[in-house]
Amino acid sequence: DMRRAIYAMLSCQTEQQRNTSWCCDHCHHFEQHPLSCGHRHCPQCQHQATAQWLTRQQQKLLPTHYFMVTFTLPYELRTLAATQ
């Protein structure tokens, strides 16, 4: 649902989310941090997953330079090119 996604992203890592608590065993300093929404469309939550995906894709690349060439075939040759 679109509304649920928007609400999740707007409330991500804010006081509206549940909190996690951290306490230092040595100095007993206590902090609470709001949790992430975890929504798949949230750029804040998915940044790490996206970065990991990009790293995996880059590892699959061959050690060469890549480039893309785009050209338009005349109408009469499109059928021939599609079948080859």
Residues listed for the chain: 84
Q: What angle do CA 41, 51, 47 make, to 5 degrees?
A: 35
Burial string for 18-43 (b: 16+ CB within 10 Å, else e) reads eeeeeeeeeeeeeeeeeeebebeebe
pLDDT value for 10? 84
Q: What is the mean pLDDT of residues 24-41?
A: 86
Can you tell me which residue has the tokens 């059928």?
A: 79
Q: How confident is the model at residue 48 (pLDDT cuts 50, 70, 90)?
A: confident
58 band by pLDDT with thresholds 50, 70 and 90: very high
**Which pLDDT value is given to residue 14?**
80
Q: Which of 15-19, 43-47, 51-55, 75-79 has the lowest mean pLDDT?
A: 15-19
Span 61-65, mean pLDDT? Answer: 94
